[in-house]
Structures are given as C-alpha cells and as structure tokens.
Amino acid sequence: MTPPFEMRGGHVRRDGRDVLRGVDLRVAAGDVVAVLGPNGAGKSTLIKALLGLLPLSGGSTAVYGVPPARFRDWGRVGYVPQRLPMGGGVPATVREVVASGRVARRSRWLPALTDRGADRAAVDRALAAVGLAGRDRDTAHLLSGGQQQRVLIARALAGEPDAFVLDEPTAGVDATSQLDLAGTLGGLVAGGRTVVLVAHELGPLAPLITRTVRLAGGRIVADDGEAA
Ligand SMILES: Nc1ncnc2c1ncn2[C@@H]1O[C@H](COP(=O)(O)OP(=O)(O)OP(=O)(O)O)[C@@H](O)[C@H]1O
Ligand SMILES: [Mg+2]
C-alpha cells in the first residue's frame, strides 16, 4: 500500500540555517506516530515539509506517493497547525472555520454536486467531538487559546481525512478536552486512519501511539517503529 507520507533525505534551510538535516521518515497507513523533541528541534518544520507547506532544500517528500506540488487529493489529509492562521482579516464564526475543513473534499469538476446535508452533518459531528457544539456562532478568534486549538482540530475532523497531521494538538488544552481528543482519535485509528502528531506531553494520547520518533537539532535521533 502507498504510504501516506514518505520523506527521503529531507533537508530544510530557513534564514540560512539548516533546521532539518537529512530526515528519512516513512509513515505507513494505520501508524500513529508521535514526533517528540525539544523546542527548536525541527518538529513543526518536519510536519510542514512533509506536507509541502515548506520547500525542501534537499531530498524529497511524497503524500500518498505523489510530490506535494502535484498531489491533488488534499481531502485525504487533515492538518492542525501549531499556531493559529486565523485572527485578523475577516471575523469568521466557529462554524465557518470548521466548515472550511470540508472544502478540500469538493469535487474540482462538479462542485455543484456537493452534498450540503453531509457537509452540515460532518461539521456538527466535528463540533460535538471537541465540545464546541454550543459555540458554533461565536467569533473564532475571540475564543480562548485552548478553544481555538479545538476549533482547528474540529476543522481537520470535519474533512473526514484518511490521515491526520497534528502539531501540538493538546498544547494549552484542558484535561477533559484532551480526553475527548484521545477518544475521538482512538475511534479514527480503530477505523484505520493514520495519525502523525507532535507533542511535548502525550497525556491521554499515549496509549494510541504505535511509534515514537524523536528529533533533535533537525535530525531523527530515535525511532522505535522503523523495524515494525
Ligand atoms: N519562519 C521561520 N524562519 C526562520 N527560521 C525558522 C522559522 N520557523 C522556525 N525557524 C527555525 O527552525 C528551527 C526549528 O523550528 P521548529 O518550529 O520546527 O521547531 P519545533 O521543534 O517545532 O519547536 P517547538 O517545540 O517550539 O514547537 C528553529 O531553530 C527555528 O528558529
Ligand atoms: Mg513546533
């Protein structure tokens, strides 16, 4: 089966510094990978480069076997960034932000055939999964930091992707919401979804993890899953 993500010799330079130095990482379907490491180790850089959100200065990366620049099936991938790209600009409601997670699923050729009922149901499920069902009309960027993080998680869930990439999804999120997230991800993993997540503290997510990759100084210094 084509692996959801595969980086070979991945190298990234930012501001003239090497922040990713020759990373090989193949994530198989159904893996639940925890990417660990100290601040500045290159975890977010790795995640973004894996998805083609940052250019590689060396090596290659593929999403479901295709270089990110040529990949077209973004509905298969849900990404939760570490920091909010919202705020500023036009104020969006929680529902609007979460619904934007459905956009990549639309047919490029037949957008009119989009099933509004299915969209709405998926958005409602995602909002309920992060405990924000009652806050869907709130302005997203006026929510607390932890609530905004949960909105971003809901946006990824709403897209019903095959693979989730989450950059510190539990940072600043309260214990109950972390348990909710663990339950939600547990269900998705049981259904065969792939998860790559960055964390400093795994907390309730720990039992889900099938593989741990440790980064330091832009290199993988430990990986307990390569043999599996
Ligand atoms: N926009 C940027 N421009 C230039 N350098 C950057 C940029 N973002 C990050 N870096 C540098 O890249 C290195 C790795 O950063 P990265 O954000 O990947 O670390 P991280 O492991 O995710 O850390 P954290 O645990 O704090 O999130 C750091 O040295 C950082 O200074
Ligand atoms: Mg980071």
Q: What is the pLDDT of residues 84-114, one digit of tens each?
A: 665 556 778 999 999 999 887 776 666 566 6
Residue 170 Cα to ligand 2 middle (Å): 12
Distance from Cα 126 to the centre of ligand 2, integer Å = 24
Contact 64, 76 (CB under 8 A): yes
Q: What is the pTM of this model?
A: 0.92
Assign residue 136 a region: left if phi > 0, alpha if psi is -120 to 50, beta otherwise?
alpha
Q: What is the pLDDT of residue 66?
A: 96
pLDDT digits (tens, 9 = 90+) for 45-66: 999 999 999 999 999 999 999 9
How far, in Å, CA of 7 to CA of 72, rounded? 18
Domains of the chain in sequence order: 5-223 (3.40.50.300)
Q: Is the pLDDT of residue 117 over 90?
A: no
Q: Which ligand is nearest to the CA of 80?
A: 2
Q: Give distance in angstroms: CA of 70 to centre of ligand 1.
A: 26
| pLDDT computed for residue 88 by the predictor | 59
Residues with CB under 5 A from ligand 2 (ion): 43-44, 82
- The vertex-142 CA angle with 88 and 124, nearest 5°, equals 105
Residues 220 and 20: their CA atoms lie apart, in Å, by 9
**Residues sharing a CB contact under 8 Å with residue 38, sequence separation 6 or more, in sequence order:** 216
Which residues line the pocket of ligand 1, CB cutoff 6 A? 14-15, 19, 37, 39-45, 82
Ligand showing the shortest atom-to-Cα distance for residue 43: 1
- Residue 228 has a pLDDT of 44
> Is 59:8 a contact under the CB 8 Å cutoff?
yes
